[in-house]
Amino acid sequence: MNQTTRTPQHIDVREFHSRARTAIADPKIRKNFRKAMDGLIVKRKDAFEGWDLEALRELGANIRLRALADLPDLLEQLEKKLTDNGVNVHWAIDGDEACRIIRDICVARNAKTVIKGKSMVTEEMELNHYLADHDIEALESDLGEYIVQLASETPSHIIMPAIHKNTGEISELMYEKTGTDLSNDVEYLTASARQQLREKFMNADVGVSGVNFAVAETGTLCLVENEGNGRMTTTVPPCHIAVTGIEKVVGYLEDVAPLLALLTRSATGQHITTYFNMISGSRKPDELDGPEEVHVVLVDNGRSSIYQDDELLDTLRCIRCGACMNHCPVYTRVGGHTYGTTYPGPIGKILMPHLIGLDEGRHLPSASSLCGACGEVCPVKIPIPDLLVRLRQESVDGDKLNPAKVRGHGAKRNALEALVWKGWSWMHARPGAYRFGTTVASRLRKLQPGKLGGWTRYRTAPKLAARTLHERMKERSQ
């Protein structure tokens, strides 16, 4: 099997525009995403039926904010609890260090094959690619991730990685790569994957998983999943490595109850997933299964920088449900791959600039109509539109009172555009100039150009009125 994964590092993030054009022109992509997102929107709404959703979101937000306020203490508490329970805790300043830590664990165990549960943070650090370069095979076991890996692609959604493909495409892919029969029977395709992956679980040397919540109070790693591949990954191989961003920690065990209620309902409209897997240690001497060796890798990768700023900090509340992309009219049109980033959609637009720098990711914050659907559904009330505006400001260094601080800020600033806004500002800050300008424009409206760039490619040009409201009100008062 071809294990080379085309990772985000080979995708030019700046090609967003051309990829967007291609995706919009592709009726299949449009249809796959629209159908999926429409369904998810309805399911989410139904799942919160009977709840005081505002109170629940408020609780979710406060739990996350409280955990962030206590973050360094909670990380130390988590480390101590886990260590007491026989778990090895590692700290990684960035993705590269996290990859090295995982490779070193594999090398020490002479491990050649790694089976993986779904983990966005390992996508973020491109772990599969790194391990492949070091002769360690990493196989995805979540069905969606497995499909995406077979196709040498990246996930197009953080919860449903293969959402961009329809059954026919998946059937052809599995036929080509694994020798299953061509079939549109989803049961058959799923059963084939089960068969192939069971062998892999039994033979894997190491299991690598993500973490949904890490509880400091009890030293518990919580994993949310439907398939059982997460449980397999964390139970069958003799060694389990859990990888998590440092922001995933919460203070108390009871915090997970409302966060879980929010997460699954927001993500897929489920009251709960099939499995909620809580791991608090390695195998005890009298236990008959489970990994003898458990590691946790706490990954910073830019998070401690985000943490410094009061406003940007809200980005770290995220519990990775994907509701923001499910409700995003832009994501629905262009699909996940257009973004060219590990995390697509609204959360990607506010998170990725910190991970890759605002110079690389400078197109991201502008690709939004600021409609606010994302912020409205966010289970932990991240003010995503406000953060997009903040990053737009950072990308052009647009605020001398609040100087930009994100890495790569100012990369989008160009002299001409800045001059245009300067001129606009000059005129609109001077009422006389404004009245003169608008009156002249309305007198010359016959000369108004019929073509206004991108606007008139799809619409007629806006029509200036014969007389401005200012003029009409002035006459009226006389």
Partner 1 sequence: MNSRDTILQRLRERSGGKLHRPDCDFSVLERPSSSVAERVEQFQRTIESVHGEVHRCTPESWVAQLAGILSSRGARNLLIPAAHQIGHALRDSGQDDLPELLIYDEPVVSWQAHLFNNVDASITSTRGGIAETGSLILWPTPDEPRLMSLVPPIHVAVLKASELYTTFHEAMRVQNWMSGMPTNALLISGPSKTADIEQTLAYGVHGPKELIVLVIE
Partner 2 sequence: MADLIKVYPPKPSHVYFYATCLVDMFYPDAGMAGIQLLEREGIRVIFPEDQTCCGQPAYTSGYHDDARAVARAQLDLFPEDWPIVVPSGSCGGMMRKHYPGLFKHTDQETKAAGIAARTWELTDFLLNVCHIRLEDLGEPTNVAMHTSCSARREMGIAEVGPRLIGQLNNVNLIEQVRAEECCGFGGTFAVRHPEISGAMVSEKVDTLTDTGAGAFVTTDCGCLMNIAGFAEKNQKPLSGQHILSFLWERTNPGQGDKS
Kindly identify the residues of this chain, within the stretch 323-342, that bind partner 2 according to CB under 8 A. Answer: 329-330, 333-334
205 is an interface residue for partner 1 by CB under 8 A: no
Site for partner 1 in 158-197 (CB under 8 A): 160-163, 165-167, 170, 186-187, 189-191, 193-194, 197
Site for partner 1 in 269-288 (CB under 8 A): 270-284, 286-288
The residue behind tokens 């919009």 is: 24
Binding residues for partner 1, total number by CB under 8 A: 102
Site for partner 2 in 339-368 (CB under 8 A): 365-368
Site string for partner 1, 58-97 (x = CB under 8 A): xx--xx-xx-xxxxx--xx--------x-----xxx---x
135 is an interface residue for partner 2 by CB under 8 A: no
470 is an interface residue for partner 2 by CB under 8 A: yes
Q: Among residues 232 and 367, whose Cβ is nearest to partner 1?
A: 232
Taking a C-beta distance cutoff of 8 angstroms, is the pair 48, 187 a contact? no
Site for partner 2 in 230-249 (CB under 8 A): none
166 is an interface residue for partner 2 by CB under 8 A: no
132 interacts with, out of partner 2, partner 1, none, CB within 5 to 8 A per kind: none
CB count within 10 Å of CB 422 equals 10
Nearest approach, Cβ of residue 308 and partner 2 (Å) = 18
300 is an interface residue for partner 1 by CB under 8 A: yes
Binding residues for partner 2, total number by CB under 8 A: 76
Taking a C-beta distance cutoff of 8 angstroms, is the pair 271, 47 a contact? yes
Q: Among residues 85 and 393, whose Cβ is nearest to partner 1?
A: 85
Site for partner 2 in 27-66 (CB under 8 A): 30, 38, 54
Among residues 345, 375, 379, 408, the one that binds partner 2 under rule CB under 8 A: 375
Output the six-digit token pair for 287.
């236990």
Q: Among residues 198 and 430, whose Cβ is nearest to partner 2?
A: 430
What's at 175, amino acid-wise?
A: Y
437 is an interface residue for partner 1 by CB under 8 A: no
HEC sequence for the chain = CCCCCCCHHHCCHHHHHHHHHHHHCCHHHHHHHHHHHHHHHHHHHHHCCCCCHHHHHHHHHHHHHHHHHCHHHHHHHHHHHHHHCCEEEEEECCHHHHHHHHHHHHHHCCCCEEEECCCHHHHHCCHHHHHHHCCCEEEECCHHHHHHHHCCCCCCCCCCCCCCCCHHHHHHHHHHHHCCCCCCCHHHHHHHHHHHHHHHHHHCCEEEECCCEEECCCCEEEEEECCCHHHHHHHCCCEEEEEEEHHHEECCHHHHHHHHHHHHHHHHCCCCCCEEEEECCCCCCCCCCCCCEEEEEEECCCHHHHCCCCCHHHHHHCCCCCHHHHCCHHHHHHCCHHHCCCCCHHHHHHHHHHHHCCCCCCCCCCCCCCCCHHHHHCCCCCCHHHHHHHHHHHHHCCCCCCCCCCCCCCCCCCHHHHHHHHHHHHHHCCHHHHHHHHHHHHHCHHHCCCCCHHHHHHCCCCCCCCCCHHHHHHHHHC
- Contacts (Cβ under 8 Å, ≥6 apart) of 139: 3, 113, 114, 115, 116, 146, 149, 197, 200, 204
Among residues 122, 128, 209, 229, the one that binds partner 1 under rule CB under 8 A: 229
Q: Among residues 37 and 321, whose Cβ is nearest to partner 2?
A: 37
Site string for partner 1, 374-413 (x = CB under 8 A): ----------------------------------------
- Contacts (Cβ under 8 Å, ≥6 apart) of 371: 329, 385
456 is an interface residue for partner 2 by CB under 8 A: yes
- Contacts (Cβ under 8 Å, ≥6 apart) of 145: 116, 118, 155, 161, 162
325 is an interface residue for partner 1 by CB under 8 A: no
402 interacts with, out of partner 1, partner 2, none, CB within 5 to 8 A per kind: partner 2
262 is an interface residue for partner 1 by CB under 8 A: no
Q: Among residues 190 and 369, whose Cβ is nearest to partner 1?
A: 190
Site for partner 2 in 408-437 (CB under 8 A): 412, 418, 421-422, 424-425, 427-431, 434-435
399 is an interface residue for partner 2 by CB under 8 A: yes
455 is an interface residue for partner 2 by CB under 8 A: yes
Among residues 1, 9, 27, 289, the one that binds partner 1 under rule CB under 8 A: 289
465 is an interface residue for partner 2 by CB under 8 A: yes
465 is an interface residue for partner 1 by CB under 8 A: no
Among residues 168, 402, 405, 443, the one that binds partner 2 under rule CB under 8 A: 402
Nearest approach, Cβ of residue 390 and partner 2 (Å) = 9
268 interacts with, out of partner 2, partner 1, none, CB within 5 to 8 A per kind: partner 1
373 interacts with, out of partner 1, partner 2, none, CB within 5 to 8 A per kind: partner 2
Site for partner 1 in 116-145 (CB under 8 A): 141-144
